Structure 1
Amino acid sequence: MDLPVMPPVKPMLAKSVARIPPDMHYEAKWDGFRAIVFRDGDEIEIASRTTKSLVRYFPELVRALRERLPERCVLDGEIVIAHGGRLDFDALSERIHPAATRVKTLSERNPASFVAFDLLALADESLLDVSLADRRALLERALCDSTPPVHVAPATTDIEVARRWFDQYEGAGLDGVVAKPLTLRYRQDERQMFKIKHERTADVVVAGYRLHKSGPVVGSLLLGLHDAGGTLQHVGVCAAFTTKRREELIAELAPLRMESAAGHPWAAWAEETARLPGAPSRWSGTKDMSWIPLRPELVCEVAYEHMENGERFRHMARFRRWRPDRTPESCTYAQLDEPVGYDLADVLGPQG
């Protein structure tokens, strides 16, 4: 492979802001795997945000990219999987599997798509120092004949359209909106863009915690919600605490600490069907996943962006405050906002 922009490339990043800024280029924020795609003739490389190769996990994309991309190019975009008209991050996560046979089966059952939103090189020219407005025009021309599963991300410079997208696209599983200055050059690993994400709050049960790697202080709180049958389901964690606060939490939670998990709603963590805090996964690797059970009597309010398949927090929740006025039994899925459905095909337009 011999391209004007060669791997490794660390993608340009975005900083969080509360509101959509004016006078910019706007795109939907995709909830998938960020990827830099390199094509030089028959050679294809797909690199993750951390520059690791994803080629072995997405064989169907390698074939599609070889057939649909310009002969020599470097693209920035997102790998996504759609199911039932929505993005399905769980299905995407399953693709990171050590067994090639499993990857092949999943690639046939739930094929992935690539949504391109930036062009870093074309033919023999590096575009890293070209303005975003010009890079976007070149991207649209380069992929004008592309067909699914390769898409060009919808974009606009109309802030009212961006605001409408922010409200509508969540129903298709998208994360929010990204705003980019039109004069922006591509700057690797720098937070030069802006992301505006959905945020909601929920009252949840604190049913355990994990220790922080720095010592005997709280690392993360384990959160639960009751399902329709009254079972407390593990829905995620919150962990962004200062060192001082981590120490304080140990003392605050001590009266609720259980000597063992016997009698705890999550005692059967090893059951295959349980979404529970001790369950091993291919993501955890050698990470210590042990946890301290608490009597599930304490309620706190957390902020979250959205739910994955309506079952758990897609990203880490953020602690807001204790809720001594709420009972654990009142912390149910029924309190959660459900975004209005929106078909992903309508986001991608005629291509999709």
Structure 2
Amino acid sequence: MLAKAVPTVPAPDSVDGGLAYEPKWDGFRGIVVFDGEHVEIGSRGAKPLTRYFPELVEAFTRLLPGPCVLDGEIVISTARTGRARLDWEALAQRIHPAASRVELLSRETPAMFVAFDLIEAEGVSLLDEPFSKRRAALERLVGGIGDPIRLTRITTDVALARRWLEEFEGAGLDGVVAKPLAAPYSPGKRVMLKAKHHRTADVVAIGYRIHASGTGVGSILLGLYDDEGRLRNVGGMSAFSNARRLELIDELEPYIVRDDDGGAVTGDTERSRFSSGRDVSFVQLRPELVAEVRYDQLEGDRFRHTAQFERWRPDREPRSCTFEQIERPIAYDLDDVLG
């Protein structure tokens, strides 16, 4: 079951039957199937995740009281400045082909599973039950199990949910999910509502990649200046329409860095485990063009998700595009979120 984005945390009476609110966890969505002896973990897109989290497989086998199908989020918590918070980078490292590496990381940075729905229990499907009943059954099943299986917090108080939206970001969470209390579990449908953080920043266009179709601009690489005056790659922006991709070729042409023969100078970004052999080369641009983008949050010194183009800012000097403009959430301890 999926969620559609809304600009703010919705009022409880905006949906028939009312709403319940939960923190929005920023990890790997996981569907856990336990038959009483064996465990399988699948992603939202049905990709197998079991081999990457041996510590969770062991815990599910040992702690779950009976056969069930759980829906939740796989996360990793690490301490920063004395406070625990979600660590996306540590989680991403788990997608590794070497079993020995996965085993080592499972001991060094163990994952936890935050359960937020129950799809089946003791062989009985709960898909058609309203969320209120599924949640009650989930609490009975895993409410007292403890680490590394946790039950997400929940409230029907919209004022508290809106406070969570502001406070919990400091622990690495990225919003609040509103769930209709009367709704059945609807796979593939955006029944839930999610309110996330959206901010804007002025960034420097430092390069672009051609779209996978071979025509037009697929994505634009973005940079910010650090305290030492270095221009750092902070991610990219994409999701342009077909017509806009072609327009961008002409708009960016005057800024292309060219060699002595007049050819476009290209570079390569660092490959990651998610590159999957994709071409990571890009056409370099002179750092003269400023864009305003929407973003949700930073993970380290990079945008956590792809930024969205708002407008060009010819009135802004590229050197003014620094990390100082980026809003950093106030630190919040993940242990307080978990309760």
TM-score (norm 2): 0.93
1:342 matched to 2:332? The reply is yes
Distance 1:317 1:70 in 2: 43
2:200 corresponds to 1:201: yes
Tell me the residue number matched to 2:39.
44
SS of 2:287's partner is strand
**3-state SS of 1:303 partner:** strand
Offset of residue 260 of structure 1 = 5.3
In the alignment, structure 1 residue 29 sits paired with structure 2 residue 24: yes
Secondary structure at the counterpart of residue 162 of structure 1: helix
1:273 maps to none
1:151-300 matches, within 5 Å, as: 151-259=150-258, 278-300=269-291
> Which of 36, 45, 64 is matched with 2:59 structurally?
64
Q: Secondary structure at the match of 2:137?
A: helix
Partner of 1:274: none
Whether the aligned pair in 1 keeps the contact of 2:205 and 2:288 (CA below 8 Å) is yes
Supply the AA of the counterpart residue of 2:117.
D
Is the 1:131–1:184 Cα contact (8 Å) retained in structure 2?
yes
Q: Could you tell me how far 1:154 is from its partner in structure 2?
A: 0.3
Aligned counterpart, 1:333 = 323
Please give the alpha-carbon distance, in whole angstroms, between the structure 2 residues aligned to 1:324 and 1:146.
57
- 8 A contact 2:176–2:195 mirrored in 1: yes
- RMSD of the alignment, in Å? 1.4
Identical positions, percent: 54
What is the number of residues matched between the two proteins? 325
2-structure distance, mates of 1:108, 1:124: 33
Letter in 2 for 1:201: T
Contact 1:40–1:73 (CA under 8 A) maintained in structure 2: yes
SS in 2 for 1:295: coil
Whole-Å Cα distance in 1 between the matches of residues 195 and 53 of structure 2?
A: 29
Contact 2:75–2:86 (CA under 8 A) maintained in structure 1: yes
1: CA distance, partners of 2:287 / 2:143:
55
Deviation of 1:176 after TM superposition, in Å, equals 0.4
Secondary structure of the 1:287 match is coil
State the shift of 1:280 in Å. 1.8
Distance 1:105 1:47 in 2: 21
Counterpart of 1:88 in structure 2 is 87
Cα displacement string for residues 48-99 of structure 1 (whole angstroms, at most 9, x for unaligned residues): 1110111110001111111222320000000000111110101100000001
How far apart, in 2, do the equivalents of 1:70 and 1:192 lie? 29
Q: Alignment partner of 2:309: what SS?
A: strand
CA deviation after TM superposition for structure 1 residue 124, in Å: 2.1
Displacement of 1:242: 1.1
More off after superposition, 61-70 vs 153-162: 61-70
Q: Which of 177-186 and 286-295 deviates more?
A: 286-295
TM-score (norm 1): 0.90
- C-alpha distance in structure 1 between counterparts of 2:113 and 2:168, whole Å: 18
Q: Is the 8 A contact 1:27 1:177 kept in 2?
A: yes
**Does the residue aligned with 2:206 lie in a helix, a strand or coil?**
strand
Q: Aligned to 2:295, which of 304, 325, 328?
A: 304
Tell me, in whole angstroms, the C-alpha distance in 2 between the residues paired with 1:144 and 1:221: 46
Residue 13, structure 1, aligned to residue 9, structure 2: no
Find runs of 4+ consecutive structure 1 residues off by over 3 angstroms: none
Q: Deviations over 1:238-295 (max 9, x none)?
A: 102111111111001101112359xxxx98x7xxxxxxx5222221112121211111
1:116 maps to amino acid = A
- Letter of the aligned partner of 2:255 in structure 1? L
Cα distance between partner residues in 1 of 2:115 and 2:65: 13
3-state SS, counterpart of residue 208 of structure 1: strand
How many Å separate the matches in 2 of 1:45 and 1:120?
A: 14
Separation in 2, partners of 1:260, 1:291 = 15
Which residue identity lines up with residue 115 of structure 1 in the other structure? Answer: V
Cα distance in 2 between the residues matched to 1:230 and 1:237: 20
**Gap regions ≥5 residues in structure 2:** 13-18
